[in-house]
Every structure is written in C-alpha cells, then in structure tokens.
Structure 1
Amino acid sequence: MKKNVDSLRSALDLLRTMPGQLLETNTAVNTEAELAGIYRYVGAGGTVSRPTKEGPAMLFHNIQNHPGTSVAIGLLASRKRVAALLDCPAQELGKKLFRCTEHPVPPVLSQKPAPCQEIIHKSSDLGFDLHKLLPAPTNTPDDAGPYITLGMCYATHPDTGLHDVTIHRLCIQGERELSIFFTPGARHIGAMAERAEQLGQTLPISISIGVDPAIEIGSCFEPPTTPLGYDELAIAGALRQKPVTLTRCLTINEFAIANAEYVIEGEVQPNIRIREDQRRGTGYAMPEFPGYTGPSSDQCWLIKVSAVTHRRNPIMQTCIGPSEEHVSMAGIPTEASIFAMIEKAMPGRLKNLYCSSSGGGKFMAILQFQKLSASDEGRQRQAALLAFSAFSELKHIFLVDEDVDCFDINDVLWAMNTRFQGDKDIITIPGVRCHPLDPSNSPDFSPSILDQGIACKTIFDCTVPYHLKSRFIRSRFLELDPSPWLREEKKDHAK
C-alpha cells in the first residue's frame, strides 16, 4: 500500500492528485436523504436503482446543522480507486488480500495522544446528543433513522480476551443510544455479545468512523478465512505495510483506531432488544447491498453510548448500502477467501476471479479456471464447490476459461452464449443456507425454500470440455502496439 495512505485524510489527499476521482463541494446539503440522493447520480453504482454510475468520491463541506464538519462518501465506490489506494493493480486485489491473510501484521497500542481524541464529549455532559454530534445521513426517506454505515466496531471476547473488528449497521435511536444489528451466526462481535449476555455482562465496544481504506477492506473478511479470535486489523497492517495504531478509550475498557475521525464509546446491553424503526415507524431499516431497502428488525441490540471523541473539523464517512462501495468492501475479501481455498486444493488452476457488482460483492462469483490436462475436466466444478465452502453467502458461480475476462460481464455472457448448454451445464444445490437479505430466499418465493435465507445455489459451467478446446479458439488478431496511431489522433483533437 502507498506508505502515505494511513488515514482517511491521506486517502483523500491521494485522490486529489488523481483527475476525476474526488469531487468537493461547499454547497449546503442536508443529511436527511439529500446527500445520498445526490451521490446516487454522481457515483454510487453497484445495485443502486438506475440511473446511477461509477464516478468520483464526494466530499461535502457544508453540512446543514453541523457546522465545522464534512461528509465523505464513495471513497471505495470504484475498483480503480481501491487499487490506487492499496497500491495494487485492480485485477490483482483479491490475490493481494489473500497474501496479506497469510502474513498478518498485528496492531500496536500507542502511548501518544490520539488524533481521534482531540475533542471529547462525554454522555454526562449537559446537552450531549448523538443527533447533534454526528452528521450521520439517512440514505432514503424510508430509513429507520440516521445510520452509521462505516463504523469499525471493535470489541473483546469476554472469555478469550481476543479482539475483532467488524462493520455493522448502526442507527441513532436517541441522545445516548444506538441500535446495532447482528446477522445471526455471521459476525464475531455478535458472538461476543451473546457470550457477554450469558455471563450477565455488558460488552464494551468502540466504533471508529473515518479510517483508512486498508482497515475498511480488511474488516470485511469472514470465516473460514478469519475464524473467531482473528483480529482483522492485522490484515490491514499487512496491506499498509505497517501496523494499525490503537488508542485506549476514555470511558470504557476497550481500544479504538487512533487515526479515526470519530470514535463512539459505549456498551452493548444484555437482555434488551429493540425495534430499529421505533422512532419513525417506517417499517424499513436502510438500503442493503442486494438493492432493496430491508425491513426493520425488532431484534436489534442496544448500545448505551458513554462518549464521542473526534478530530478537529472531523469528516464523517458514509456509504450507500447497495453502492459499488459495498461491492469493494465485501467482494474483494471474498475473492481473497475463495482464491485461498482453491489455490491450496489445486494450485495454478484458478487464474483469477471476480465477485461482481451485480451480486453486491456477495451473491455472485466468476471463476476464471484453466484446465491444463484431460484430468482437469471436472475440477472446475470442484473449484466452484470449494468457493461455496469458502464463502457461505455466495449464491451463483459462473465458470469460464482462461481466455475469458472474468471482470468483463459481456465477455462472461459471450462464454455463456457460445460454451454453455442449459440441460447439461447447470448444477443446482437446493436447500442451502445463504443470506436473509435476498428477498427471493423466501418460502413465499418458492415452495422448495423451507426458511428465510435458504437458497438454491447454482453453478453455471461456461467452460469448454477439455477434449474440445481446439474447436473453441477465439479469433486471433495481430498483436501490436497501437500507441503511434493513438498519438496522431490526440494531435488532431488538439488542433
């Protein structure tokens, strides 16, 4: 990773040197649906309803009712930007993350004053109010409330003392209260909260907002790549080639990310569940990665906040749930997890892979597989099964040959149209647990689905049978350097 990118501010400084990658505005904006509504047109992409597109990140400097603050959105809403920020070719990001999981660099504790604690607000202070302290946006008018969408939640297991960092959806519920949603069985901090509840204890938790890209990407790994007790900040340390610096929280027994823009300190309460939309009664939570606004949950846990600290002139960082930003954060770690599993089982066969935007980075993977001999026939389907094992929320896998660009959906569909027959190349695996946010994973959608979140996982094998490869050679064009002709064209345009 570029050595100077170790905070949100240094990441933004890098984007300022890259034409067309950061748009800054001083025009006043309301965080109540307006900010996200603007970015929908500018650069959200992903599974956001059309019209949308891939575009620059945005930095809003004039936030209504929040003087002295800014809001950044879309920092990672482009694979090209992520590649620049992590100093890696875009098509090699998954492989680079895989190597970082193999060589982690654990975080370190700083004894120096932390940038995230330049300004301190304690819940005992007169007038303490999360609504006033945090310019947290709502994405749509239907949202349950203001959401913190890029909060790095950091906690410690009550029994083992091991740490974990994860992103969860957090909704401001009152002056000193947040709701936190734990996907059942899917996140380690949820397991920590459950264990603390069994012991009759609260779970201290810090929420660091506005951190560098390595931390945001690294925090999105899931089992089996990062089992319970694996601190994903060590992956971020490997990505940035130096350890993440932590600082001690002021009001709880926990650590926070020292270079964050904001830190919320609090405790997850045992034996309390609240409804996410209790303040607004919309029936919805917020837009999620599949492209739909999810229903509000009545099983959210409650965080009682004890302090908010931040930098001077802090920058709130946020994202739109279904945007390309989610694809980057969820999809690239998934690519790394799948690559690790397959490479260990059959080295050299998986050339590359892509967890595409259309699947939100979670539901769909395209595997570029090379058959080196006749005995490799069938291994491509075994690789797909390994991918399902590496990432349980995966629903669809497309298998393509090494001459197909897995990052180009048109090329993938070309392979499907010329190297695929539905009666023999579709492999279905019904009745497997997938993701509850896919609205088609419901008994209402199909009688074959027994419970919400169960899916029929499917493999689309668009590879050529090994014995027929000589009949499926793509047109061979002359290999040359076109730059001399392109230089002439640029001169003509300049006249």
Structure 2
Amino acid sequence: MSFREFITQLRSSGRLTEVKDPVSAKYKAPSIAHNTEGPVFFHDVDGSRAIMNVLGSREELASMLGVDRSSIIQRLSEVQPDGEVQIVEDSPTMEVIEDEVDLSSLPIMTHFEKDGGPYITAGIVVSEFEGIMNAAIHRLQVVGKNKLAARLVPPRHTYVLHKRASEKNMPLPVAIVIAPHPAITFASTTRVPEGREFHYASALLGRPVELFECSNGVKVPHAEIVLEGYIDPEERVDEGPFVDITGTYDLVRKEPVIHITRILHRKDPIYHGILPAGSEHLLMMGVPYEPKIFRAVSEVTTVKNVVLTEGGCCYLHAIVQIEKQTEGDAKNAIMAAFAAHTSLKHVIVVDEDIDIFDIKDVEFAVATRVKGDSDIMIIPNVRGSSLDPRGAKDGTTTKVGIDATKVLAESDKFERAKMPLD
C-alpha cells in the first residue's frame, strides 16, 4: 500500500475531511488542521495538495497496524526490526526530477505567529556515512530557496553521523523523504538499532520495504517527495523559534544547514505536514515509547497496558495498568517506567479494572486508592525532558510516581458496584 492508497482507505472509511477551497500554507492550513478532528486533505494549499493529521488518532494508528485501539501496544511490543528490505532500480517518486531547487514550490507551512519561518515537519532525514545508515524525523526550517536548518539532537544517530563527517571536514549525504507509507514514517520515530528503521517498517507492514538509490548514494523508500542534499560540515544558522510537543516555544539554537541539490517527486505530489503540538505530533513522539515502557514493566510485574496521555503531551505522563501480585509491584512498575523513558515526569499505576484510556476512570483510582504519605513517590534532582518548560536549565527535574492500585489485603473495600443484567 502506498501513501495515496492509505489516503483512499481513509476516504472510504469516512474518516477523511476534504478541504477544496484554496488556503494558504502560512497559518491557514495549520489552523484548519488544528480545529479538525482526524485527517484533513487539502486540495489547494498555495496551488499544491497536502494532508495533515494522517495518524492523528489511535484509531488511525490501529487501522494502519490492523489491530483494535486497545491492542496497539501489545502489537508494537511484539514486532522486531527484522523485516525485509529490497533495493529496486526505479520508483514513482522519480516521475519528476528538478535540478533547479526552489523550496517555495512546496506547500511548506508556517504554523504559529512566532515561528522562525516555514517548517518541514514530517520529513524523514535519511543519512549514510561510512556504511552506516539512519532514518529519523527532524524539524527542518526553511532558511533559503535551497537551504534548511536541521534541529539535530545529541546524541541521536543523525547528530552522531554528522559529527563524524564534520570531524573529517566532509559533508553528510542525506535525502529527506516526505509522505512514504505512514508505517515508514512511524517507524522512523521509533528507537530501534541503528540502520534498522526500514526493517522495522517492513515488519509492521508484513511485506518488504522497497528502497531506491538517490544520486548521492542514499537509499530511500518510495514517497511523494524526496529532497536530495547534504549537511554542511561547518555552516550553522539560528534555528527557531519552533513550537514543540508542550505547545510552547523551544529555544533558538545554532544548528547545521542542509543544502538541497535536487527534488524528486510524483506528478501532482501530496505534501504531508505534521502540526506541531497537534495530535499526530504527540502520537508520533509518544507511542513509540509505550512498548519500551511495556517491556520494562513486564520485567518486574504482570503488565496489561500502557498509555502516554494526551494531557501529558504524550511524552511526560504515563498510565501503567498492571495485574498486581504483591504490594511492591506498583512501585517497581513506577521505577521501571522511569528507567525506560527518561523524559517521563509523572507515572500513575492502576489495576486491571481501570480504563487507562478514560482519564475520569484514572482520576477515580487516584481519588479512592491513593494515600498520599505511602502511595506517592517523589524523586528529586533527576534527568527530565528538555521540552519541559518547568525543568531546570541543566535538564534536571522532580519526578512523581503514584500507586493508585488497590490494597490487596483489603480488596473487598475497593469492589466497584455493578448493575445486574436483565
């Protein structure tokens, strides 16, 4: 299934909103996506086609994975990055080749009033250096007709590869992939061993992922648009401001420059944009950590499910559902969750009878099963997330774990009343 076929599937299911009137890439299209639930297809964004909120809900993600909403984490926990990758000679991405690069020909969006400029937000940066490949989404600010500023976070793989190339005063070849199959985009956000992102996507899809070679040697999957180029070993510019997952502005930093040398795209391509701090951004950032937490907690107790909540930016708050065996299980689960995802700030552990997707049910557990002096763990002066505006400048924070499980010896006190069936 291609990106276009996935859109057709969304349309057939009735989950796709279509906007046929012309809209601007500056503010207007992002505003519409922000105020629309589910995927939004724009027929005319400054003369081009675009889509947002592609994986903007767990329903879309579940549909992509072929499971129901409650089974997403179990599915992701089972999949290993061992799928098949095939190199092919041709690609529909090469229907149009532009050697004269002008990024303004694409509907690259400006989202918020204080943005540093237009940003590519769903671009998978595929890089190769000395036989090592990596694929990851990085925010990319347009800083010229053929230049992008890339936010490279240390010590992630693209940062490391660029550092190695720069130490040898060599450019790092890259290709920026926009709108491949959504499973490939999702896989590129997942923490897998270096160079295994496309193998992971193949395992998710249950079929091989085909790659073709760009003129700079970088191998990429079929997509609507591919930008070829290289990351300069020395040139840096101000990157930002940019709205990150908390809905607040991240810092302005000096970041490396990507020079775009060629654009490949399908005829009448469909541009994919991810709304910063929108539902798709949150899910793409958070969901890949849920199976990590699931697996870590499974080492200390019987875990049933995990969710990173939208209210916690799908990044800072986790709810962990366990089948409690001993009184220490919940606190062990809290510590395992913090170890698995170091950016977590608050963790709530609940029993099997609590619906972790219903925040009212979770609040009920906190209200009726928590005794503050014994069920709340406070861990000061530990590493947190750089995206947390309440964190310290050196990245440290205070973490809180809440044991909202029943006291096993007094389980009768916590039995929830049920209506009899007719």
TM-score (norm 2): 0.96
The aligned counterpart of 2:182 is 213
Which of residues 208, 215, 219 is equivalent to 1:243?
208
The aligned counterpart of 1:45 is none
The aligned counterpart of 2:396 is 454
Structure 1 position 269 matched with structure 2 position 232: yes
Which of residues 206, 227, 244 is equivalent to 1:288?
244
Q: Which structure's residues are more often strand, by fraction?
A: 2
In 2, distance between residues paired with 1:386 and 1:70?
44
CA positional deviation for 1:324? 1.0
The aligned counterpart of 1:51 is none
One-letter amino acid matched to 1:412: V
CA positional deviation for 1:409? 0.7
Which of residues 351, 363, 377 is equivalent to 2:316?
363
Which of residues 81, 85, 88 is equivalent to 2:64?
85
What secondary structure is seen at the aligned counterpart in 2 of 1:165? strand
One-letter amino acid matched to 1:469: S
In 1, distance between residues paired with 2:195 and 2:331?
30
Which of residues 329, 335, 349 is equivalent to 1:379?
329
CA positional deviation for 1:272? 2.4
What secondary structure is seen at the aligned counterpart in 2 of 1:470? helix
What secondary structure is seen at the aligned counterpart in 2 of 1:77? coil
**Conservation of the 8 A alpha-carbon contact between 1:162 and 1:231:** no
In 1, distance between residues paired with 2:103 and 2:129?
27
In 2, distance between residues paired with 1:287 and 1:136?
15
**Conservation of the 8 A alpha-carbon contact between 1:334 and 1:361:** no
Structure 2: state its 5+ residue gaps: none
Structure 1 position 37 matched with structure 2 position 2: no
The aligned counterpart of 1:493 is none
Structure 1 position 337 matched with structure 2 position 337: no
Cα deviation code 1:442-488 (max 9, x no counterpart): 3xxxxxxxx342211211111122212222111123357xxxxxxxx
Structure 1: state its 5+ residue gaps: 1-5, 43-54, 277-283, 443-450, 481-495
The aligned counterpart of 1:233 is 198
**Conservation of the 8 A alpha-carbon contact between 2:333 and 2:349:** no
The aligned counterpart of 1:484 is none
**Conservation of the 8 A alpha-carbon contact between 2:135 and 2:195:** no
Structure 1 position 183 matched with structure 2 position 153: yes
The aligned counterpart of 1:256 is 220
**Conservation of the 8 A alpha-carbon contact between 2:300 and 2:332:** no
CA positional deviation for 1:346? 3.6
One-letter amino acid matched to 2:82: P
Structure 1 position 108 matched with structure 2 position 86: yes
In 2, distance between residues paired with 1:268 and 1:196?
9
Cα deviation code 1:258-301 (max 9, x no counterpart): 2x11001111111222102xxxxxxx52221111122322x211
Displacement over 6 Å in runs of 4+? none
Aligned-residue sequence identity (percent) comes to 30
Say what the alpha-carbon RMSD is for the aligned residues.
1.6
In 2, distance between residues paired with 1:90 and 1:164?
30
The aligned counterpart of 2:119 is 147
Q: How does 1:47-66 map to 2 (within 5 A)?
A: 55-64=37-46
In 1, distance between residues paired with 2:232 and 2:292?
33
TM-score (norm 1): 0.82
What secondary structure is seen at the aligned counterpart in 2 of 1:256? strand
One-letter amino acid matched to 1:457: K
The aligned counterpart of 1:74 is 53
Q: Figure out how many residues of one structure are paired with residues of the other and give that number.
A: 422
In 2, distance between residues paired with 1:360 and 1:216?
20
Which of residues 252, 258, 267 is equivalent to 1:312?
267
**Conservation of the 8 A alpha-carbon contact between 2:187 and 2:197:** yes
Cα deviation code 1:362-413 (max 9, x no counterpart): 11110001113xxx22122112211122122111111111110111111000
